[in-house]
Amino acid sequence: MIFADLLFLYVFLPALIIFYILAGFADKAVCALTKEKGFAGSINPAKNAVLIIFSLVFYAWGEPFYIRLMLISIAVNYVFGLLITLKEKPSKAFFVLGIIFNIAMIGTFKYGRFIAENLNALGIPVPLPEAVSPVGISFYTFQSISYLADVYRGEVKAQKNPFRVLLYISMFPQLIAGPIVRYETIAEDICSRRITVEDVSEGAFRFFIGLGKKVILANQLSIISEQFLDGELSGLSSGGAWLGIIAFTFQIYFDFSGYSDMAIGMGRCLGFRFNENFNYPYICCSITEFWRRWHISLSSFFRDYVYIPMGGNRRHQPLNIMTVWLLTGLWHGASWNFVLWGLYFGIIIMIEKYTLLKVENKIPKVFLHIYSLFLIVFGWAIFYFEDLGRLGGFIKIMFGASGNPAGGIVAKNAFTVNLYLLIAAVVCSVPLGTLIRKFYDRTIKTSGGAAAMTVLKAAASAGLLWISTLLLVSGTNNPFLYFRF
Amino acid sequence: MDKNSQKSAPRYTEKKDKSSKGADVAYVAAIAVIFAAVSGAMVFMPRSRESVLEQRELAEFPAYSHESLMDGTYTAEISHYFSDTVPMRDRLMEMASAVQEFTGFRSNDIKLHNVTLAENTEETSATEETAPVTEITVISNGAVVEDTDNVSNAETEVPAGTEAPAPAVTQETTAAPADDAVSLTNNGIAVVGTRAIMLYGGSYSVGEDYAAVVEKYKKALGDDVNVYCMVIPTSSEFYCPESISSYNNSQLDNINNIYSHLTNAVPVDAYSALKDHTAENIYFRTDHHWSSLGAYYAAEKFAETAGVPFLDLSEYDMHTVEGYVGTMYSYTQDITIKNNPEDFFYYVPKNVELDTTYYNYKLGDGNEIIGMDEPMKSTFYLNFSNSKSMLYCTFMGGDAKITHVNTSTKNGRRLAIFKDSYGNALPQFLFGSFEDIYVIDMRYFTYNAEDYLKEHGITDVLFANNAFHATTRSTVNYYEKLLTQGRQPAETSAAGTTSAPAVTSAPAAGSDAKNSATSVTEIPEQVTETDIRKNEE
């Protein structure tokens, strides 16, 4: 199941809300009872049970066969968590074994075919496995790795209750498209959480914002990008190539950050606080900064579990940087263009470290923005074309080296009929929301402001929900970019 | 939250918390009501069964099987069912089209839908096709037009060595009988003002093969039968603005090329007949077909070429149905089309008696022929004023059938028309010109064409295809097949045993014999709307 889907919005979600509220009453009753008898209990087993069941249904809906793989993975990681902390001193052997298990699993099911293809290309005949790549495997495997690492480092205690590990890994808001939540972040929430009306208000609003980003912006932008990037390159004009890749630049941002917003919003409504995953990445002044703002949960994962353990900036830093970026690229997909894409950013970041970052303050910001955005957009071209031959052809067209025309009526027409959409995309990429937020927080304190702001907020939510619903009805055009990761 | 900050500004925090808590409660209550209302409507309101707009039946709830559950198709189909059969689907789609209009503005009043990227160079129309015949069912905006008789994108020149474009490309199976998901040489759709035009991408080489297969019919039928070839230009030839003409090949060049390859078959110059009247309503703006008026001018030219009498327009009663929005809206979902409906009109001869017999084909889910109904008498014109998007089915109710019209004109001339849906508008103007007219759709015909024509004593054969079909590979394949099919066991026995049900011996399905042509009756019971929807081109 995906979030931007009518069945999810209008069947799954209402059902979950009803059962979750009922479970809340059950938990309260149990709590009151146990308190009377002298137990200190602020746990919520009924809510957790509802959440686990709905999460498993959510996952099985899209991946009815490979749900068993996820369940095995969770069981194994649960056991390893316990084994690592069996003795007073954490067991390095079990930790390493656990990591090997996770890497072997993702290696087999996500990269098996890619590895076999390349071995065959090198002349080593191995049978080609089917390309399966179970939904969300990159996310839940990484969460498992972070869990084992945090347990091994003693940052969290191993969870003795298997259902809580199950809930941590399989919780549906973050299950298939992140953010990559660390166990530490929600360990307390899992055991005992209180949901305030503020949580629900903030979370629901965040959800509608995310829904709008995904359905209204990303899905509509995908019509442009598909038109110009999926067709025949022979007739593509330079203008069309740029329009297509710029549309994709916005599309992937709104798609992914919209999904994160929905995840964070739903998590908040359910009583969990996930960390932010995006922070207006396209306003960055350098590529280094871009990656501090883009998919934060992934970059911080690699920082904390690969870069720093390898030695960070103390030992062979260039090697550490390139390793991290090779892995980042590969994480996005089992294909050479993703490797190339990762290394591309690794090299830029390395160069920036010794040049740009030292003189950043002396350069007017506008140049820094242009510089960063150019490299980002170009990066998305590498990201988009899995076929390296097509990528080469596309780059030639972008820079007018193909002999294709510069403009053309089709590109012009697509530009004008989508102009307001593109403007909206630009506006929503800058921290306008932060300004509105400040205004909101200030106004709501005034006497009449609270009512006005509430009406506005509710109207905006209803509008986003309604327009998204209309577009979901009309569009079978609902591609989900991060599914394959 | 933390005590220090509360201590430093206790009153301030207090007030904020209180008023914002009230606001939060109010907001949560408001959206809870809204969300519950929409959810309730989505779940409990009656589900849509069919889409008039898209001209298709909507998805059905999937049948359960263990395999489909385990491979994920069962749940995927439930999701699809839920969004496909959303209550008031057509109305919501229309609202969505209106919303999508806000994404930008139309410069020069033009909006292009799925126009192919390959701009035609001056030689494009003469280049060889290198592409396999592909059939793309994703049309404009990614809307998948399923099961309807697609006018799909296809046969754009794909340079060798590049991969075929990704979206839903399926290899056309020309072997499948009467696969009516016809691939057209379509470059996309341009909405110019309030007119939608399908841009033309035909190529010479197929046109030459088309001429060759027409010649094959002439050769098989011999000197006693006249064979005519009328390639009908479509609206893009006359209404395409200069600014996008590079995406629109010349139909005239292609038609002339086809005609230049005819040796014994006689070309019918419908092109100049239409060109003289482009200021009139000869094409629909909201549909990919021509109008009855366009068909009139072409039929006049044909009658002149064939040397048969021809009734002037004043000999007809004109019938008009207002509010017609044709296929172009469902293909483009362009709200401009929806907001500018037009009149559908047709002509019924005043003084000609018609006796119309239908031999309807039963179609399976994939529009393949699975059988044939008993012959059925009805009227040539059917009433579609209640399902206005399908008004073009007024003529014979669609394509999947053989239609025989016996007229009160007695001149010994018996005409067979091999056609696509453009041909459906022609017979109305030929009832005063021929004694018998057999209307045969190239996609729905299970007899051997040569045998059938000879058995029925046909004197004149007209090939009436629009320029898209005349330069589409599958058209040539259909006609080739009609000549060779039904000949398997022994050619000698063809005459009697494999014969079509003759009109005279037809069981009296509708024995009320001669319906007056001037009265338009309801759709006969046997022709369900579903059949018609499937059949309509």
Question: Predicted confidence band at B85 (pLDDT cuts at 50, 70, 90)?
Answer: confident
Instruction: Look at residue A371 and tell me whether its pLDDT is greater than 90.
Output: yes
Instruction: Look at residue A22 and tell me whether its pLDDT is greater than 70.
Output: yes
Spatial CB neighbours of B462, under 8 Å, sequence gap ≥ 6: B228, B229, B230, B268, B302, B306, B415, B416, B417, B418, B419, B426
What was the pLDDT predicted at B18? 58
Provide, as residue numbers in chain B, all residues whose Cβ is less than 8 Å from the Cβ of A473.
83, 86, 89, 92-93, 96
Q: Taking CB atoms and an 8 Å limit, are B28 and A201 in contact across chains?
A: yes
Cβ under 8 Å to A: B residues 13-72 = 15-16, 19-28, 30-31, 34-36, 38-39, 42-43, 69-72
What was the pLDDT predicted at B58? 80
Instruction: Look at residue A357 and tell me whether its pLDDT is greater than 70.
Output: yes
Provide, as residue numbers in chain B, all residues whose Cβ is less than 8 Å from the Cβ of A5.
79, 83
| pLDDT, greater one: B440 or B511 | B440
Instruction: Look at residue A28 and tell me whether its pLDDT is greater than 90.
Output: no
Q: Taking CB atoms and an 8 Å limit, are A1 and B79 in contact across chains?
A: yes
Across A466-474, average pLDDT = 92
Nearest to B165 among A200, A232, A471 (CB): A232
Provide, as residue numbers in chain B, all residues whose Cβ is less than 8 Å from the Cβ of A231.
116-118, 165
The ipTM is 0.85
- Asked if the peptide bond before residue A179 counts as cis, ω within 30 degrees of 0, the response is yes
Across A23-45, average pLDDT = 74
What was the pLDDT predicted at A167? 92
Instruction: Look at residue B491 and tell me whether its pLDDT is greater than 70.
Output: no
- Count Cβ–Cβ pairs < 8 Å, chain A vs chain B: 211
Residue found by looking up tokens 């972040």 in the block: A185
Q: Please provide residue B137's backbone torsions phi and psi, each rounded to the nearest 5 degrees.
A: -95, -5
Provide, as residue numbers in chain B, all residues whose Cβ is less than 8 Å from the Cβ of A68.
none
Nearest to B115 among A237, A410, A419 (CB): A410
Instruction: Look at residue A330 and tell me whether its pLDDT is greater than 70.
Output: yes
B249 reaches A (C-beta below 8 A): no
Mean pLDDT comparison of A237-246, B83-92, B165-174, highest-scoring range: A237-246
Give me the residue spans of the domains in chain B: 1-44, 186-535
The answer to whether A332 is a known catalytic residue is yes
Spatial CB neighbours of B127, under 8 Å, sequence gap ≥ 6: B157, B203, B204
Across B249-269, average pLDDT = 91
Instruction: Look at residue B524 and tell me whether its pLDDT is greater than 70.
Output: no
Across B148-165, average pLDDT = 33
Query: What is the tens place of the pLDDT at every residue in A210-229?
Result: 999 999 999 999 989 988 89
Q: Taking CB atoms and an 8 Å limit, are A450 and B25 in contact across chains?
A: no
Q: How far is CA B18 from the centre of its chain?
A: 63
Q: Taking CB atoms and an 8 Å limit, are B27 and A228 in contact across chains?
A: no
B316: three-class secondary structure by DSSP? strand
Q: How far is CA A213 from the centre of its chain?
A: 14
Q: Which of B53, B65, B85, B103 to mutate to test the interface with A (most CBs of A within 10 A)?
A: B103
Q: How far apart are CA A212 and CA A463, in angstroms?
A: 9
% of residues, chain B, pLDDT over 70 = 73
Q: How far apart are CA A264 and CA A206, in angstroms?
A: 7
Quick one: closest CA in A to B131, which residue? A232
What was the pLDDT predicted at B536? 42
Question: Predicted confidence band at A2 (pLDDT cuts at 50, 70, 90)?
Answer: confident
Instruction: Look at residue A429 and tell me whether its pLDDT is greater than 70.
Output: yes
B161: three-class secondary structure by DSSP? coil
Instruction: Look at residue A471 and tell me whether its pLDDT is greater than 80.
Output: yes
Instruction: Look at residue B166 and tell me whether its pLDDT is greater than 60.
Output: no
Altogether, the residues listed in chain B come to a count of 537
A33: three-class secondary structure by DSSP? helix
Q: How far apart are CA B440 and CA B401, in angstroms?
A: 7
Q: Taking CB atoms and an 8 Å limit, are A477 and B100 in contact across chains?
A: no
Query: What is the tens place of the pLDDT at every residue in B117-127?
Result: 555 433 333 33
What was the pLDDT predicted at A131? 72
What was the pLDDT predicted at B116? 61
Which amino acid does the sequence have at B482?
A: L
Question: Predicted confidence band at B162 (pLDDT cuts at 50, 70, 90)?
Answer: very low
CB A278 within 8 A of CB A293: yes
Nearest to B143 among A387, A422, A476 (CB): A476
Instruction: Look at residue A484 and tell me whether its pLDDT is greater than 80.
Output: no
- Of A87, A102, A85, nearest in space to A138 by CA: A102
What was the pLDDT predicted at B19? 60
Q: Taking CB atoms and an 8 Å limit, are A458 and B142 in contact across chains?
A: no
Q: Which of A58, A416, A483 to mutate to test the interface with B (most CBs of B within 10 A)?
A: A416
DSSP 8-class letter at A37 = T
Across A471-485, average pLDDT = 54
Q: Taking CB atoms and an 8 Å limit, are A461 and B115 in contact across chains?
A: no
| pLDDT, greater one: A337 or B514 | A337
Cβ under 8 Å to A: B residues 320-349 = 333
Widest Cα–Cα separation across chain B:
108
Quick one: closest CA in A to B94, which residue? A474
Across B380-390, average pLDDT = 85
Q: Taking CB atoms and an 8 Å limit, are A7 and B95 in contact across chains?
A: no
What was the pLDDT predicted at A36? 67
Instruction: Look at residue B399 and tell me whether its pLDDT is greater than 80.
Output: yes
Instruction: Look at residue B200 and tell me whether its pLDDT is greater than 70.
Output: yes
- What pTM did the predictor assign? 0.79
CA distances from B377 to A105, A237, B515, B519 (A): 68, 56, 9, 14
Query: What is the tens place of the pLDDT at every residue in B424-483?
Result: 999 999 999 999 999 999 989 999 999 999 999 999 999 999 998 888 888 899 999 999
Question: Predicted confidence band at B171 (pLDDT cuts at 50, 70, 90)?
Answer: very low
Across A305-313, average pLDDT = 87
Distance linking the first and last C-alpha atoms of chain B = 68
Per-chain mean pLDDT for chain A: 88
What was the pLDDT predicted at A76? 94
Across A202-213, average pLDDT = 95
Q: Taking CB atoms and an 8 Å limit, are B23 and A454 in contact across chains?
A: yes
What was the pLDDT predicted at B44? 93
Q: Which of A454, A471, A478 to mutate to test the interface with B (most CBs of B within 10 A)?
A: A454
What was the pLDDT predicted at B126? 32
| pLDDT, greater one: B91 or A54 | A54
Provide, as residue numbers in chain A, all residues whose Cβ is less than 8 Å from the Cβ of B105.
416-417, 419-420
A251 reaches B (C-beta below 8 A): no
Q: Taking CB atoms and an 8 Å limit, are A61 and B162 in contact across chains?
A: no
Identify any residues that bridge with B183 across adjacent strands, giving them in sequence order: B152
Q: Taking CB atoms and an 8 Å limit, are A11 and B115 in contact across chains?
A: no
Query: What is the tens place of the pLDDT at every residue in B228-252?
Result: 999 999 998 999 888 888 888 888 9
A463 reaches B (C-beta below 8 A): no
Question: Predicted confidence band at B143 (pLDDT cuts at 50, 70, 90)?
Answer: very low
What was the pLDDT predicted at B506? 36
What was the pLDDT predicted at B530? 41
A427 reaches B (C-beta below 8 A): no
A437 reaches B (C-beta below 8 A): no
Cβ under 8 Å to A: B residues 116-145 = 116-119, 141-144
Query: What is the tens place of the pLDDT at every residue in B307-316?
Result: 999 999 999 9
- From A54-63, A348-357, B32-41, the region with the lowest mean pLDDT: A348-357
What was the pLDDT predicted at A38? 58
Instruction: Look at residue A203 and tell me whether its pLDDT is greater than 90.
Output: yes
Per-chain mean pLDDT for chain B: 75
Instruction: Look at residue B346 and tell me whether its pLDDT is greater than 80.
Output: yes
Across B402-424, average pLDDT = 92
